[in-house]
């Protein structure tokens, strides 16, 4: 078997070794190794800047706002009618009764992300009718929460399961990519 030849250091490796060797004290009774000084690396040439700044890219298309009861774009009439009429049954249900708005929001956020991760297609969120003229705070806030950037990409459509029950909303979730 032929003996191995010692590999020579590249210029950058030799520079790094020289810098390291200057920081180490030799063992007692030994002399410090002589390290040849190398020229510093050449400075990179400055990058030529264009005369005009580049045109900004258009922002990513934001999904259209979600409205409860409106057919979204990208959903055919047959699927929309099956969803709206209740033929696509809810696989999971979240009841927000008795929760504060903040706790309800966090519960909704966790619920939708978990359902989406589990490939659930239809879920139902119960907010209750509320005692005020426009309904309770949860019922008024739910459409706003669904349009937030963290939740809007998950939800394709929203509808009340029955016209006489505005305190419950069925959500059709997008398929995970």
| pTM score | 0.62
Question: Residue ranges of the alpha helices (H) in 48-177?
Answer: 77-85, 101-117, 137-146
Domain boundaries, the chain: 77-173
Helical ranges in 33-153 per DSSP H: 77-85, 101-117, 137-146
Strand order in the sheet with 155-159: 92-95, 122-126, 168-173, 155-159
DSSP lists the bridge partners of residue 126 as 95, 168
Q: What is the pLDDT of residues 136-176, one digit of tens each?
A: 888 888 889 999 999 989 999 888 887 777 788 899 998 88
CA atoms within 13 A on the CB side of 145: 22
Residue 39 reports pLDDT greater than 70: no
Contact at 8 Å (CB) between 113 and 128? no
C-alpha span between 110 and 115 (Å, rounded)? 9
Burial of 8 (0-12, 13-18, 19+ CB in 10 A): exposed
Residues 6+ apart with CB under 8 A from 69: 84, 158, 159, 160
Q: Does domain 77-173 have CATH number 3.30.1370.110?
A: yes
Mean pLDDT for 1-18 is 77
Q: What is the pLDDT of residues 97-123, one digit of tens each?
A: 888 999 999 999 999 999 999 999 999
Quick count: other Cβ atoms within 10 Å of Cβ 14? 14
């Amino acid at each position: 078997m032929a003996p191995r030849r010692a590999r020579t250091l590249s210029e950058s490796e030799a520079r790094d070794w020289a810098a390291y060797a200057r920081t180490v004290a030799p063992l007692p009774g030994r002399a410090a190794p002589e390290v040849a000084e190398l020229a510093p690396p050449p400075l990179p040439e400055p990058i030529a800047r264009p005369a005009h700044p580049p045109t900004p890219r258009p922002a990513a298309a934001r999904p259209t706002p979600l409205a409860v009861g409106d057919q979204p774009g990208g959903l055919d009439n047959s699927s929309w009618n099956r969803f709206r009429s209740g033929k696509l049954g809810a696989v999971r249900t979240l009841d927000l009764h008795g929760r504060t708005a903040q706790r309800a929001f966090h519960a909704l956020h966790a619920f939708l992300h978990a359902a989406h991760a589990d490939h659930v297609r239809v879920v139902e969120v119960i907010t209750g009718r509320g005692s005020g003229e426009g309904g309770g705070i949860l019922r008024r806030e739910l459409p706003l929460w669904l349009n937030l950037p963290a939740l809007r990409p998950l939800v394709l459509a929203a509808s009340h399961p029955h016209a006489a029950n505005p305190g419950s909303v069925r959500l059709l979730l997008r398929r995970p990519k």
